[in-house]
Amino acid sequence: MINSNIITLIYIISSVLFILGMKRLNSPKTARSGNLISSLAMFIAILVTILDNSTLKISWIIIGLIIGSSIGISMAKLVKMTAMPQMVALFNGFGGLASALVSSQEFTRIFNIGNHTIYSVSTIIISIIVGTITFTGSIIAFLKLQELITTNPILIPLRNILNLFLLLITISIGILILITGNHLLIYYLIALGLIVGILIVIPIGGADMPVVIALLNSYSGIAAAFAGFALNNTILIICGSLVGASGLILTNIMTKAMNRSMLNVITGGFGQQNININKDISKHSKPFKSIDTESTSILLKYSENIIIVPGYGLAVAQAQHSIKDLSDILESKGCNIKYAIHPVAGRMPGHMNVLLAEANIPYDQLYDLEQINDQFITADVVIVIGANDVTNPEARNNRNSPIYGMPILNVDKAKNIIVLKRSMSTGFSGIDNELFYQEKTSMLFGDAKKSLEAINKELKLD
């Protein structure tokens, strides 16, 4: 049994450690220690909560911790870096569901002892709604990213009206619980939250997933914060809102990078019309230049400044290590190598950086859009691997283009451009890429990994 003031004091210490931990994420050098500090903060908070108010039901708690830890440890150890987005989605979902469950139990408890107030009930209702939406929304996102269900948007007729209708019903039930005090209505609320979560994410296409994961990340924090209101627990509120804010910032960055509004992402269906356009594209007859691996290696040999633009196609082709080998060889020949990473290059914010870091590419060679865009003009060669829409000059030049206004990498300013690609097919947006038809652009067709390995071989020969 610990005095409740001491508990609060320890929660304060733990909150400070969380904040310090997050602050250290500002630089790759201190980030790891920051994460350790956050986990220490979590450990202290858990320990003091277990010891609080005697060691009641300690065996239940230990069982829960052991089961949860073993599942968590094995998931964290086994997951592939390419599968990181779906795992984060799954974890978000678990967190959201846990918040909803905790709030629902607090709800039952205060009704049993007849101690419910408008304040406690309304915060519980919010926590349950946000938590359940986070749960099913994340599960759908997971299924899409894992490609267990189609990554194309699934469009339900009148979905926006339906969603609005369901949301209104959900809010009405919430108000009804407040007015009538009929606590059995909470089950309808839970069911509705679960359905709304599915309906919100199901019309969103694979390309928009980075936005969705960031948003769900924010929701899981908000759900925890409101569970904190319900339980009168400050550390839940502090941590929940820190995460809520962080998720919102990332959501904002992602929507900007895709030139979309949040509303536009939520109402869904962006990727839909593209499927039809995709088929016609092969018929186009604009001339383009293609190049073989031998000429590519000769070109690279005589270049000084080289910028590599990786897209998710690089990860799909498992070519991260081949590109690392290429940059090692070129660096040993005195070339200056930089990587230009568009915010939506991977399947979640910063995903491409992690995939390149896994291949041992030093992070100080990784540049983001603003840092590198002025440097393309001095680049002798730009190698584009598995990236498409984010290099399309139409976003800058063509007012009628659907991607007009999207921030792009100014690859077209470079002296020479080599594009590694399987075919002339379009990217997610379904639009033809002007870049591919430029005088100074050469297309190197084939599997990115094989092409890179062939180039490496040629370069090693001399």
Partner 1 sequence: MESLLILLMIFILSLFLGYELITKVPPTLHTPLMSGSNAISGIVIIGAIVILKNGDGRIMEIISLIALILSTINVIGGFLVTDRMLRMFKKNNTEK
Q: How far is the CB of 206 from partner 1 (least distance, A)?
A: 18
Q: Is 197 in the site for partner 1 (CB under 8 A)?
A: no
Q: What are phi and psi of 284, to 5 degrees?
A: -60, 155
Q: How far is the CB of 265 from partner 1 (least distance, A)?
A: 17
Kindly tell me which residue out of 4, 8, 16, 28 binds partner 1, with binding defined by CB under 8 A. 28
DSSP string, 172-216: HHHHHHHHH--GGGHHHHHHHHHHHHHHHHTT--GGGHHHHHHHH
Q: How far is the CB of 401 from partner 1 (least distance, A)?
A: 25
Q: Considering only residues 307-346, where is the footprint of partner 1 by CB under 8 A? A: 341, 343, 346
Site pattern 113..152 for partner 1 (x: CB under 8 A)? ------x---------------------------------
Helix (H) or strand (E) holding 367: strand 366-368
Could you tell me which of 257, 92, 131 has the C-alpha nearest to residue 265? 257
- Out of 208, 325, 389, 432, which one is annotated catalytic? 389
- Which letter does DSSP use for residue 363 in this model? G
Q: How far is the CB of 290 from partner 1 (least distance, A)?
A: 33
Count of residues of this chain found to bind partner 1 when the rule CB under 8 A is applied = 110
Of the candidate spans 19-27, 176-184, 299-307, 451-459, the one that interacts with partner 1 by CB under 8 A turns out to be 19-27
364 is a catalytic site residue: no
Q: Considering only residues 72-91, where is the footprint of partner 1 by CB under 8 A? A: 72-73, 75-77, 79, 81, 84, 87-88, 91
DSSP string, 242-267: HHHHHHHHHHHHHHHHTT--HHHHHH
Q: Considering only residues 214-253, where is the footprint of partner 1 by CB under 8 A? A: 214, 217, 220-221, 223-225, 227-229, 231-250, 253
Which amino acid is located at 366 in the chain? Answer: L
CA-CA distances (angstroms) from residue 418 to 136, 173, 300, 308, 414?
A: 42, 58, 10, 10, 10
Q: Which of residues 29 and 286 has its CB atom nearest to partner 1 in the complex? A: 29
DSSP string, 394-406: HHHH-TTSTTTT-
Of the candidate spans 94-102, 147-155, 296-304, 376-384, the one that interacts with partner 1 by CB under 8 A turns out to be 94-102
Q: Are 100 and 131 in contact (CB under 8 A)?
A: yes
Q: Which of residues 79 and 298 has its CB atom nearest to partner 1 in the complex? A: 79
Active site residues: 389
